[in-house]
Amino acid sequence: MYSSISDGLMVAAVLGYMLAMIGYAVEYAFGRQGVVARIAARKPRASRVLVTAGGDEVVETAADDTGDDDEPHRPIDAGRAAFIGRIALVVQTLAAAAHTACLVFRALAAHRVPWGNMYEYVLTACLIATVAWLVVAWRRPAVRHLGLFVSLVVAILLCVDAAKLYATAGPLVPALNSYWLVIHVSAMTVASGIFLVGFVTVALYLIQERREAWLAADRPLRFPLTLGDRLPASETLERLGFRIHALGFPIWTFGIMCGAIWAEHAWGRYWGWDPKETWSFIAWVVYAAYLHARATPSIRGRWSSWIAMLGWAVMLVNLFGVNLVVSGLHSYAGVG
Amino acid sequence: MSETGDRGRTDGDGPVLADDPSTDDTTDRATDGAAAGARPVLEEAGREDENALSSRPDAAAARRVAGNGVLATGRRWWRQLTSMRTALLLLFLLAVAAAPGSLLPQRNLNADKVDTYFTQHPTLAPAMDKAGLFDVYSSPWFAAIYLLLFVSLIGCLTPRIRVHLRALRRTPPDAPRALRRLRVHTEYASGSGAADAAEVARKALRGRRFRTVTRRHDDGTVTVSAEKGFLRETGNLLFHFSLVALLVGVAVGAGYGWHGGRLLMAGKDNAFCNNLQQYDEYSLGSRVSGGDLPPFCVTLDRFHAKFQDNGQPLAYSADVTYSPDGGSGGKRYKLEVNHPLRVDGASVYLVGNGYSPVFRYTDRYGQTQTVVSPFIPSDSNFTSDGVAIFPDANIDPKTGKRNVDLQMAFQGVFFPTVSKQGGHGSTFPGLRDPAVLLFAYRGNTGTDAGVPHSVYSLDQSQIQNKQLRQIGKNPKLLRPSTKCTAQSCWKLDDGTTVQFVGVQRWATIQVRHDPGERIVLVAGVALLLGLMGSLTIRRRRIWFRFTPDGSGSTVSAGGLARTEYAGFRAEFDRIVDAAGGPARPPDSGTPRGKD
Ligand code: HEM
């Protein structure tokens, strides 16, 4: 009963995310261009300096900004696009509420925290990513249209989750029956959700950075660089990406440490190079490399961001590759 | 001046803005000229600062000092090794090197899988073995990577301790001449005289736990310099050295730790005592000998398993009696997954369980023998494989002579719940309808030869060389009973019988002692604290300059965040506010965006 309510809410949440995605796409395509991006388009070098100078984050208006829309004719005007974007944000928020309820019912059905198998794990990580994003989007309307990317990634992950990883709600196997499940897995999930948002930010940075370079060189832009028209300046994205990762990394570290303590209780050793442990360690090392790279001026920026992208790739290997292909002590995925 | 020139642009238009030092150096490893960008401003902020930012002398200068020769080459290599780029490279190598261990079978995880791999890839496997690919995490090349990484870490961080200690003792430098060139700055007029206004500002800064210095200059101006956020570097150093401590903890565990595994049959007569002879497998740290094991004993009284209807296990628990220090008298404990028994500095874990069918064989002379054989589960419904061997079967009681050709062996598959069609797999992990499918063998079982091989399967070589022959073609399915019935007994061709008497439980326990664990835990906590400090604390400076102006003074204030700090301006504004300045600065560089 609870379990089927949960399944229904899951579908509702996915549909909501898709709807929000469409709304964001409209805003993205027809909305008012981000002020910074417009300046970047006009005078890439100058804007760079100004934004560096700003140091404050997403929107740094410049003194010469007149604020009027000098774009050519569009089928939907900017005001209406913004309105649609606001609706998309509301829809996404509602979907997140359904998503939350879905997990609550899952928990009620199974009488435990809703992250005992891989289906639930992905479900929770996606909710955290969405909530993290919603916090940003409500506070900074200027970046709202970027919700397109977040809802896109989340919708895809959830569809894969429902199609490939679904497991019926039930109690836990003995090894998972511990309060460490709550601590360890929630830390891992929260960190994964944060890294997901970090990945999206860094990916956008890489697009924007390339676009700015091409603009400066007067090279014609093609997709995906044209996406950058509506993105904040690359410096801003880069800094945001760093802050997100700097938030996720200690949580990931904490999660691994809790995992080690739990492993000591359950398996009799705190570390044993089980595949999941190994890949968590690799992800940790790669993100540590990112933090180091970013502290090295000569490779900060493009290179360090590629390392963050690599970190996310490792996270995906850990989530899908290790759970579905390699077998180890962590084989609780409940699939196959 | 700058080491790499990466950020060291000092050309005309707005160098201060372009090279804003508020861009951070996250983990603060001042290499590769990480600090170069900050110099144009900081030069004014106080000369001695250069050292605070860069842990080592200028590269060009160093080259001059080093000169040529062996020492110089050594220094160059050392410098290379302790550079950030090398650290990055080693981090990557470590990540890459860790990967094959999760893709190839590893001895420490599953030695059987390694053997399987050898049979599947007979030519490739030995070469891979030489390269340590089946023991990645204890291979020399893996060790080389992390040891180099740690050498690099220590080499890079040690000088920074000195630098940091010096920075901790130093007072904040005097205000730079042109405070207005700082990105975060403001100017205003104060009604009170320079000295009084400065005192108010100093108090405001002290109240926010800045270190402050007030300086009076000959021309009557008073400056207040303040600095905060030293814990960032403290955290950074703590983090990195915790990593070293963690490695030490791991090494201590490897040297002084030991562990062993043992399959324990339920029942009083099956007590296990902690010494090497009683382990099925064990591993001792390099600095431990068998005599160092504490002499406690453990008996498995009962084993409980609870399953859901779909077969998923709900709970396993083992009632054990144990006697610390090998003494008599038992204490009871309920051993569970996630609930180890700690005794005499060692921990006892419940790691596995299964069934042991009990067989009774009645031989040609009417002698009966009973064997309890642990069977090893092969699926989640506990379909289990094992053997029951009777090496002493068919000994003529008159002569007492053993006849190896008449030894008996049974190979079987046990089903806690046999499927309705019989055979082929258990349908439930609990004992709903237990049965065993037996294959009978007669002949030399090979157990006398002293060649060790698995106790859970028959010696295949004996079967191949026809010394051990199967009796009949077909196996027989038996159900347990204490009475010999058609269901539970199998009469063999020579008139002897084998009876499936019942089922017992076994559990595998793992005993482990790791003295490094505590070090690792403490290091881990310190690591996390350090990490949070180094990622969240920002080092920043704020200066006020009060110039007497009539009865009041004009005030110029500026701030500099050494590390990325989006909220710096807001903090600065609050401080200026508290120091008696404008609530909303009339001009503070670039105006803020909306929201
Ligand atoms: C050294 C220790 C450990 C490390 C580094 C570690 C690492 C991780 C990571 C990275 C995840 C999240 C990613 C994913 O699921 O793909 C995860 C999830 C999980 N871990 Fe651990 N873990 C450790 C110990 C443990 C222990 C001792 C247990 C339980 C007995 C455990 C149970 C779980 C569970 C249930 C999940 C949820 C994901 C799933 O169902 O696949 N972990 N762990």
Q: Residue B183: list chain A partners with CB under 8 A.
A: 53, 55
Write the pLDDT tens digit of every residue in B54-106. 334 445 455 555 556 888 888 888 888 888 888 889 999 999 998 888 888 88
Cβ–Cβ below 8 Å for B94 and A285: yes
Write the pLDDT tens digit of every residue in A48-66. 333 333 333 333 333 333 3
CB count within 10 Å of CB B406 equals: 18
What single string gives the DSSP state of each residue in B233-249?
A: HHHHHHHHHHHHHHHHH
Ligand 1 center to A228 CA (angstroms): 37
Q: A residues 34-63 near B, CB within 8 Å?
A: 35, 49-50, 52-63
Q: Whose CA is nearest to atom 19 of ligand 1?
A: A185
Closest residue to A296, CB basis, from B13, B84, B339: B84
- The order of strands in the sheet holding B297-307 is B272-273, B297-307, B313-323, B331-336
Distance CA A57, CA A136 (A): 12
Cβ–Cβ below 8 Å for B315 and A265: no
Nearest-CA distance A306 → chain B (Å)? 13
Cβ–Cβ under 8 Å, residues B191 and B557? no
Phi–psi pair at B228, nearest 5 degrees:
-150, 155
Weakest-pLDDT range from B364-368, B432-436, B453-457 = B453-457
Q: Residue B22: list chain A partners with CB under 8 A.
A: 55
User: pTM value?
Assistant: 0.75
Q: Whose CA is nearest to atom 22 of ligand 1?
A: A259
pLDDT above 80 (res B473): yes
Q: How far is CA B476 from CA B45, B414, B479, in A?
A: 92, 12, 10
pLDDT above 80 (res A72): no
Cβ–Cβ below 8 Å for A282 and B36: no
Write the pLDDT tens digit of every residue in B267-291. 877 888 888 888 888 888 888 888 8
Q: Residue B101: list chain A partners with CB under 8 A.
A: 273, 278
State the best of B20, B590, B592, B594 to mutate against chain A, taking most chain A CBs within 10 Å.
B590
Ligand 1 contact, A176 CB (< 6 A): yes
Scanning every residue of chain B, which has its alpha carbon at the shortest distance from the alpha carbon of A329?
A: B109
Write the pLDDT tens digit of every residue in B300-319. 999 999 888 888 888 889 99
Distance CA B459, CA B447 (A): 8
Q: Residue A262: list chain B partners with CB under 8 A.
A: 338
Q: How confident is the model at residue B589 (pLDDT cuts 50, 70, 90)?
A: very low
Of B275, B246, B250, the residue nearest B260 (C-alpha): B275
CB count within 10 Å of CB B11 equals: 8
Distance CA A129, CA A99 (A): 12
Ligand 1 center to B96 CA (angstroms): 21
Q: How confident is the model at residue A280 (pLDDT cuts 50, 70, 90)?
A: very high
pLDDT above 50 (res A34): no
Of B560, B227, B508, B571, the residue nearest B349 (C-alpha): B508
Nearest-CA distance A225 → chain B (Å)? 25
pLDDT above 90 (res B11): no
Phi–psi pair at B284, nearest 5 degrees:
-110, 145
pLDDT above 70 (res B555): yes
- The mean pLDDT of A4-12, rounded to a whole number, is 86
Helices (H), strands (E): how many in chain A? 12, 0
- Mean model confidence pLDDT for chain A: 79
What ipTM goes with this model? 0.76
Ligand 1 center to A195 CA (angstroms): 17
Ligand 1 contact, A191 CB (< 6 A): no
Q: Residue A278: list chain B partners with CB under 8 A.
A: 98-99, 101-102
